[in-house]
Structure 1
Amino acid sequence: MTEDARFEDAAERPLNLGAVDESDLTVLSALAQDAVFPATEMLWRPSERRFALLLNRFRWEDEGRERHGAERVQSVLVVENVTAVASQGIDPKDADTILSLLSVSFVPDAEPPGGHVVLTLAGDGAIRLQVEALELRLRDVTRPYVAPSGHVPEHGG
C-alpha cells in the first residue's frame, strides 16, 4: 500500500509563480512583501511592453527558518502588457537608494481586462504600471542566502 505525498515531504524549491487574476496576485504580493532593491534595478522596455525588477526577496515561504535563520533570494518580478509607467517618491537613477516593496495590487479599469498594477513602496513611494491585462511572474533566480540583517521583517501596527 502506498501513501499520498505530504507537503512536509517536499524539498524547498525556487519560486516560479504567475498571476493573471486578483487572487493569484494576492499570493504573489504576499511572497514579494519586504523585498528590497536598488532604484537602478528597474527596467521598462516599452517596445516589449514589459517592466521588470530584480528583487532581494525575503523567503516568507521558508519552513526551515529555525534550522538556518532568515533567508533572502534574488528574484525577478516581471509585469507584462505594460503601456505606461509612472512613479512617485523615488529617483530611478539614484544607485544609493534602496527601496522596499510593501505590496503589489491591481486597480481595474472601468472596462476589463486593463487597469493599473501598483507597487507600493515603504516611505510613501509607488510605481504605477498601466497594463492592458493582468499578467505577472515572480521567479527566483539565485540560491537563497542568509539575510544580511539576520532578522525576519516586522510590521508594526
Structure 2
Amino acid sequence: MSRDARFEDGVDAPLNLGALDADDLRVLSTLVQDAVFPITEMRWLKGENRFALLLNRFRWEDAAAAERRGRAVERVQAVLVFDNVLAVASQGVDRADRDLVLSLLSLAFEPGEEGAGAVILTLAGDGAIRLSVEALEATLKDVTRPYLAPSGAVPRHEA
C-alpha cells in the first residue's frame, strides 16, 4: 500500500526561484526576510540594468522542521537579482560606511504604468532601497551549502 507524499519527504535542495509579478515577489520576500548583507555586497550594474545582492539568508523554509527535530537553524548565502532596473535610490543607508551590515525585512512592488513600477527593499532601522524597474523580474538563488545560523536562534520580531 502506498502513502501520500509528505512535505518532510522532500529533497533538501538549494532554492532557485523567480518573480515576475507582485504575488511572486511576496513569496521571495518571505524567503529573504531577516537576510543580512554587508553594504559591500550590493551592486547596481547600470549598463546591464541589473541590481544584485549577496545575502546571508535565514532558511525559513527549514526552520519549523529544524525546531521540531531539535536541530540547529541554518542560513545560506543567496544571490537576489533584479533585472530591468532603470534607477536605484536609497534612504537611511550610509553608503560611505563600508563596514555597514544591513538587514532586509521585506520586498514589495509598487506598480506603475504598462508593467513598470518600483521594487522597495525595506531594511531594519528605517532604511530602504528603491529600484525603478521597466518590468518586474527577480531571481533568488542559493549559492552555498547551508551553515549553522551564528545566533542559533530563529529571528523574532516584536509586535
Q: Identify whether the pair has TM-score above 0.5, normalized to the shorter chain.
A: yes
1:139 counterpart letter in structure 2: K
Q: For each residue in 1:7-32, what CA deviation from the matched residue of structure 2 results, as whole angstroms up to 9, or x when unmatched?
A: 22112111111000111111100000
Q: Is 2:89 the counterpart of 1:92? A: no
Instruction: Extract structure 1 runs of 4+ deviating beyond 4 A.
Output: 1-4
- 1:65 offset after TM fit, Å? 1.2
Equivalent residues in 2 for 1:100-139, closer than 5 Å: 100-109=103-112, 111-139=113-141
Q: For each residue in 1:104-154, what CA deviation from the matched residue of structure 2 results, as whole angstroms up to 9, or x when unmatched?
A: 000011x12000000000001000000000000011000010111111100
Aligned counterparts of 1:121 and 1:14: Cα–Cα separation in 2 = 24
Q: What runs of 5+ residues in structure 1 fail to find an aligned partner?
A: none
- 1:3 offset after TM fit, Å? 5.0
The aligned counterpart of 2:66 is 65
Aligned counterparts of 1:26 and 1:12: Cα–Cα separation in 2 = 22
Conserved? CA contact 1:103–1:119, under 8 Å: yes
Q: What runs of 5+ residues in structure 2 fail to find an aligned partner?
A: none
Aligned counterparts of 1:141 and 1:81: Cα–Cα separation in 2 = 22
Question: TM-score by structure 2 length?
Answer: 0.93
- 1:4 offset after TM fit, Å? 5.0
Question: TM-score by structure 1 length?
Answer: 0.94
- 1:2 offset after TM fit, Å? 5.2
Note the aligned Cα RMSD (angstroms).
1.3
User: Identity over the aligned pairs, expressed in percent?
Assistant: 66
Equivalent residues in 2 for 1:49-60, closer than 5 Å: 49-60=49-60
Aligned counterparts of 1:79 and 1:49: Cα–Cα separation in 2 = 8
Aligned counterparts of 2:41 and 2:98: Cα–Cα separation in 1 = 9
- 3-state SS of 1:68 partner: coil
2:43 counterpart letter in structure 1: L
